[in-house]
Amino acid sequence: MTASGVDVGGGTAAATAQRAVRRRRRVPTVERMVFFLVFLGLPLAVYLMFVVSPFVQSFYYSLTNWSGLSPSMEFIGLANYQRIFADPVFWTSLRNNLVLLIVLPSVTILLAFALAVMVTIGGSTHGGVRGVRGAGFYRVVSFFPYAVPAVITGILFNFIYHPGGGLLNGFLNLLLAPVNAVLGLVGAEPVADLGVAWLGDQRFALAAVAFAIIWTFVGFYMVLFVAGIKSIPQEVLEAARIDGAGRLRSAVQIVAPMIRDNVSTALVYMGIFALDAFTFVSVMTPNGGTANSTKVVSLDLYQTAFRDGRFGEASAMGVIMALVTMLVAVLVIWLGRSRKEQR
């Protein structure tokens, strides 16, 4: 046999062996089946049972007039959705959610990023890159509000915003004392003590609730951003300092782009919370505030279901808000990826 023949025969034998190996790989073994069952089948079953199935059930209930207690229900189609879209209270609640969707993520993430920069790279410009003095203490203090349950935080701010003996009005009246003293010297009428009902006045109620939420979550997202900043190589920050970049420029042009994924995650989670905000609103303004000034869709849904006994209509609200939440999450993720591709 020629050398070329040997080569051909060897190549044929190798190809045959490879085909045999591929056939053996395609044959399901007990180990492969157990692996897919445990690590794919069980999680998929749990997801279908506790996530997909309740959503499908809610969508079906939204097409009925179920009262929540009656064993029977009548299929009424899209009547619940028509009733919701014609309800001004729902649109007011949705508007409040959209206001929170704009304010809460932007303010919370901006403050959290500023604090994270302060405790990581905001220290002295001499020596290595480090945070301000006492950075560890600031981290603990900033994270503490997130460790407090939301219900307790809401009750705490109810006392702070109390129109009579609340801490906020007391502090503002303390600031007015020197002004009244000066006015008394010149013979003018002193300014009356403030007794603003922060949660009862529709001009301030939603802002007061938003401030409590921001106060709660700033520390948590600060810790998230600190972890992202710590993953940036120190050589990058030190090189920027050598090139003359100050703290603000380093934070905006170096740190922010390098922790973009952390920021996107924070935007998604904070956006989802802004579309809910049930705990804070229900504790601080149980009835939704004056003229529904703080009512959100989740509170409207709760009252429709458990106070009015219209579970079908409440399920329709839940379906609408689920779709809005998914739309917001997809939009934030898409914007983050498109900016990354542009860079």
Q: What is the pLDDT of residues 182-220, one digit of tens each?
A: 767 776 766 667 778 899 989 999 999 999 999 999 999
Mean pLDDT, all residues of the chain: 86
Structure tokens at 7: 């080569």
Q: How far is CA 228 from CA 118, 139, 222, 256, in A?
A: 14, 15, 10, 10
Percent of the chain with pLDDT over 90: 48
**Can you give the pTM of this predicted structure?**
0.83
Contact 313, 304 (CB under 8 A): yes
3-state secondary structure of 215: helix
Cα–Cα distance, 270 to 114 (Å, whole number):
17
Among all chains, which residue has been given the structure tokens 């503490």?
Answer: 144
Contacts of 260 (CB under 8 A, 6+ apart): 336, 339, 340
Does the pLDDT value for residue 293 go beyond 50?
Answer: yes
Which domains does the chain carry?
Answer: 87-161+197-342 (1.10.3720.10)
